[in-house]
Amino acid sequence: MGVYLDTDSRFHRDGAAYSLECPHCGAESHMRVGSVPDFRQMQMHRPKQIGIALHCEACNKPVFIRYRVRSYQPHKIEFMPGGQQIERPAETFSHQYLPPAVAETFRDALGCYSNDFRNAFAVMCRRTALAAFESLGDRGKMRCYEQASEIQRLADIRDEDFEIVRKIIFEMELEKSGAVPSLTHMQTIILLETMKDMLHQAYVRGGKLQKALQLRRYFAEQAEEATSGGTRVTEDQTDPRETKETRAHDSMIVRAVDRAGRN
């Protein structure tokens, strides 16, 4: 069976439903098969790779997949299983907590990752690490190094995979030589998760904590004022999850705190 196109240009995939993480809406959604190449045209031109368009059932936007042709047969054209998704879901991070120089390079790094530019991703991760160590100082860099070891231990990452990631982040001599170690798909993922965790610990965690304390102080002051006025303010206004709703809520609170600071 496998993945193939029949003589009526119908796309078959082991009878299995297509379910993918949509690069547009982020939902793990069922995909409808939209456009597929024409069987006779393919037999005539014999391309080695083809593209098909799926449609996300959650947001109805097109999602493109590339397949490599395994064989041309009179009654079917067979493809290698495991098509490559052309657009990946965009990687997100709480950039607002990072110093501008770190945020700028890490945003570019995530863009490279989403587009599968592995070498460029590695280079931008190293630039991000350089900017971060500059702002954190030697002690901060040492903490990051220890944290990286902890990440390896917690996630049970093999030495041969982690060594290259450690080199990219910490061996700044590589920057001068211009050499970029090439990464496997798995090593790229490890580099991404290590960078995210490291930056989260170095900046995001503290930033959120400060904001939460600022917020509690603001509400405590409001509650004090309200004891004479009669309005009651509820507790538990913080949410560690980074969702659109909490971000909107956060910015509302920041505005409130700013206003309070001005008064």
Residues that bind Zn ion (CB under 5 A): 22, 24-25, 56, 58-59
CB nearer to Zn ion: pick between 56 and 204: 56
Nearest approach, Cβ of 23 to Zn ion (angstroms)? Answer: 8
The two structure tokens encoding residue 185: 């798909």
DSSP 165-202: HHHHHH-THHHHHT------HHHHHHHHHHHHHHHIII
- Report the Cα 178 to chain-centroid distance in Å: 26
CB nearer to Zn ion: pick between 24 and 68: 24
Q: Which residue shows structure tokens 């920057």? A: 175
Nearest approach, Cβ of 244 to Zn ion (angstroms)? Answer: 16
The two structure tokens encoding residue 109: 């790094």
Nearest approach, Cβ of 18 to Zn ion (angstroms)? Answer: 12
Q: Which residue shows structure tokens 């700028």? A: 104
Nearest approach, Cβ of 89 to Zn ion (angstroms)? Answer: 10
CB nearer to Zn ion: pick between 59 and 213: 59
CB nearer to Zn ion: pick between 92 and 149: 92
CB nearer to Zn ion: pick between 42 and 58: 58
CB nearer to Zn ion: pick between 54 and 131: 54
Under a CB-based contact definition with an 8 Å cutoff, are residues 59 and 32 in contact?
no
80: buried, middle or exposed (CB in 10 Å: 19+, 13-18, 0-12)? Answer: middle
Give the dihedral sign, CA 12/13/17/22: negative
Nearest approach, Cβ of 193 to Zn ion (angstroms)? Answer: 24
Nearest approach, Cβ of 67 to Zn ion (angstroms)? Answer: 21
CB nearer to Zn ion: pick between 22 and 191: 22
Nearest approach, Cβ of 249 to Zn ion (angstroms)? Answer: 25
Under a CB-based contact definition with an 8 Å cutoff, are residues 41 and 9 in contact?
no
Q: Which residue shows structure tokens 């960078």? A: 195
The two structure tokens encoding residue 25: 């809406």
Give the dihedral sign, CA 252/255/260/263: negative
